[in-house]
Amino acid sequence: MIALRELLSNRIADALRAIGAEGDVQIAPAQDEKFGDYQCNAAMAIAKKQGKKPRDVAQSIVEQLRIDDMCELPEIAGPGFINLRLKPGFLAKTLMDVPAQAVEDNDRLGLPLAVTQETIVIDLSSPNLAKEMHVGHLRSTVIGDCIARVLEFEGHNVIRENHVGDWGTQFGMLVAHLRRIKPDVADNPASLVIKDLETFYIEAKARFDADDEFKTEARETVVALQRGDPLIRKIWQAFCNESLRHCHEIYRQLNVRLVDRGESFYNDLMDDVIRRLERLQRENPGGAVRESEGALCIFLDGFTTREGQPLPMIVRKTDGGYNYATSDLATIVDRVERLHANRIIYVVGMSQKQHFEMLFAAAHKVGIAGANIAMEHVGFGNVLAPGGRPFKTREGGTIKLKDLLNEAVDRARRVIDQPPTDDSKRPTDLALSEKDSIAEAVGLGAIKYFDLSHSLMSDYTFDLEIMLSLEGNTAPYMLYAYARIRSIARKAGASPDARLTEAAIALEHPTEIALAKKILQFADVLQTVSRDLRPNVLTDYLFELAKAFSRFYDKKIGVRVIDATPESIRSSRLRLCDLTARVLKLGLHLLGIETIEQM
């Protein structure tokens, strides 16, 4: 499968060179299909530079445009828009070039790997180990996983780093509390099991606030931890391992892979970062790195306080302690120098926007990351409870993520267990294990899809009723669309394994042509998601594809498929069904959602 917009862009670029006007080809999908499939707006910008009439420039471009094999005769509209409409014959040939699926779980639909392979580090999920994962960790986890899947699909070396919070003063309190309630943990750390981390944290905090002797013990414990006391470190490690066990139960349920990298991993490297900065300070007194009120800071152009004063990034506090900026600079050193990353992506909430802007600017300013290292912050909004309120329990605590996931699966299972209505085509002979796997796929898929379908920067309301709806842009609708297409193939006696690879594709009916165009937009969509890191572009596309198929299969406005005649037309339409299902399956997989064959 080829990227149509990229192919058209290359043809237009050739035409621009032919008229001596190299530059941005400015091609985009047409806003209204009555004007065609794509629109090129390059003529207006070129005309302004050359002092010519836009329509004259557009005519010059069209005269040099070698596009007869792909498009109907280009049309010039308005002040100089060039409208392009793809030929049905070209669409059919391009679809027929999509290879058969050789390996069941490795269907690439003929999509090529990226020309330039990069090493990309994605910083995702990143919970604090002192508490259970809550709904606030959902977005970082599923957004990061989706971005990683798309980039991995392109062939990049993607390193998924879970930058967990396992360091700091609160761990003195937690380790001290652990020693008191489980004194044998140092002798047998593998035996440590904490059923409820949230309760454990609350108990430790209550003891810290009420007991001065324990407060002193906690503070001495954190000093011992930071100095590397073997016994304290052993207990601390046991606590971290147990906390991570809770996290990985959720990661397994969500089918998310990652590598744990605690803040402690970079502890020694933070000293190295400070040494590098002190050297820069000595070499260039009064430069970007200098002291301010006893703190070591990096001063960056363009960052000021509300009063207009320079806003420094503090990397060593007045008391000599380090902070998040120090730790984050250390992670960049590690990712650039040890992992050899070309691109570093941080999937962290929008509240940290300024921090990452300053972090990236500082890393470039002090030479920790060269100009060739791309660093991007994928910010996102909050998950809200119904009514737009913050997500809290009745007692005011944070709702655990595992409880929400389990509730989604339970609700999906209750729907599956309901007897079908008279007009329902839902299978009734499902085995218990099939019902469990369907409930898991639908319930978890509903949460993931709903999250990913929203614009990253907007907040959204967590509503299981909407998430589990079979109507609208939801995972159940998409999973049903896929299962429905597979059922069509079964009824037609066309096994998915056969792939109908020998059938010629003929596109005559408007719904056939529209479906073919939508299928072939998949490559463009993946390129957009990879470049802009916006999963909702993929969910919007899959929804539009499912709707295009629904119109194609509709008895009133679409075409006959199973009983179509002659056989060549029947085979052609069954092949369109198969291609649609394969795109849906791959697209949902890249979202982290696995399909089911019947629903």
203-220 per-position pLDDT tens digit: 999 999 999 999 999 999
Region of residue 195 (left: phi > 0; alpha: psi -120 to 50; beta: else)? alpha
Q: Is the residue at 156 inside a domain? A: no
**pLDDT at site 395:** 54
Give me the mean pLDDT over the 242-250 stretch.
94
Residue 195 has which token pair? Answer: 């059923």
- How many angstroms separate the CA atoms of 54 and 42, rounded? 9
pLDDT digits (tens, 9 = 90+) for 131-154: 889 888 999 999 999 999 999 999
**pLDDT at site 376:** 97
Q: Which of 66, 86, 106 is the last residue of a domain?
A: 86
- Length of the chain as a residue count: 599
Mean pLDDT of the chain: 91
Residue 529 has which token pair? Answer: 């998601």
504/572 same-domain check: yes
**pLDDT at site 429:** 62
476/509 same-domain check: yes
Q: Counting Cβ atoms within 10 Å, is residue 1 exposed (0-12), middle (13-18) or buried (19+)? A: buried
Give me the mean pLDDT over the 18-25 stretch.
85
Q: Which of 255, 276, 305 is the last residue of a domain?
A: 255
**pLDDT at site 420:** 62
CATH number for 547: 1.10.730.10
Residue 540 has which token pair? Answer: 């919007």
Give the residue from 328, 376, 343, 404 showing the smallest Cα distance to 137.
Answer: 404
65/177 same-domain check: no
CB atoms within 10 A of CB 224: 18
Locate the DSSP E strands across 72-151.
Answer: 75-77, 81-84, 119-123
Full domain range(s) for residue 370: 266-378
Question: What is the pLDDT confidence band of residue 417, given thresholds at 50, 70 and 90?
Answer: confident
Q: What separation in angstroms does the CA of 91 have from each of 27, 112, 224, 278, 564?
A: 19, 18, 68, 62, 21
330/446 same-domain check: no
- How many angstroms separate the CA atoms of 216 and 427, rounded? 64
Q: Is the residue at 226 inside a domain? A: yes
Q: Which of 362, 378, 394 is the last residue of a domain?
A: 378
Q: Is the residue at 421 inside a domain? A: no
pLDDT digits (tens, 9 = 90+) for 56-104: 999 999 999 999 999 999 999 988 999 999 999 999 999 999 987 755 6
469/565 same-domain check: yes
297/354 same-domain check: yes
What percent of the chain lies above the pLDDT cut of 70? Answer: 95
Higher pLDDT, 107 or 511: 511
CB contact at 8 A, 527 and 3: yes
CATH number for 351: 3.40.50.620
Main-chain phi, psi angles of 113, to 5 degrees: -75, 160
Give me the mean pLDDT over the 253-278 stretch.
94
**Residue 443 C-beta-side C-alpha neighbours within 13 Å:** 23
**Residue 95 C-beta-side C-alpha neighbours within 13 Å:** 35
- How many angstroms separate the CA atoms of 16 and 216, rounded? 74
As a three-state string, the secondary structure of 186-250 is: CCCHHHCCCCCHHHHHHHHHHHHHHCHHHHHHHHHHHHHHHHCCHHHHHHHHHHHHHHHHHHHHH
10/63 same-domain check: yes
- How many angstroms separate the CA atoms of 206 and 213, rounded? 13
The DSSP symbol for 84 reads E
**pLDDT at site 393:** 59
**pLDDT at site 482:** 96
Q: Is the residue at 163 inside a domain? A: no
Residue 571 has which token pair? Answer: 């085979």
Q: DSSP letters of 431-464? A: -HHHHHHHHHHHHHHHHHHHHHTS-TTS-EE--H
pLDDT digits (tens, 9 = 90+) for 590-599: 999 999 988 7
pLDDT digits (tens, 9 = 90+) for 312-333: 999 999 988 888 999 999 999 9
Say how many domains are in the chain. 4
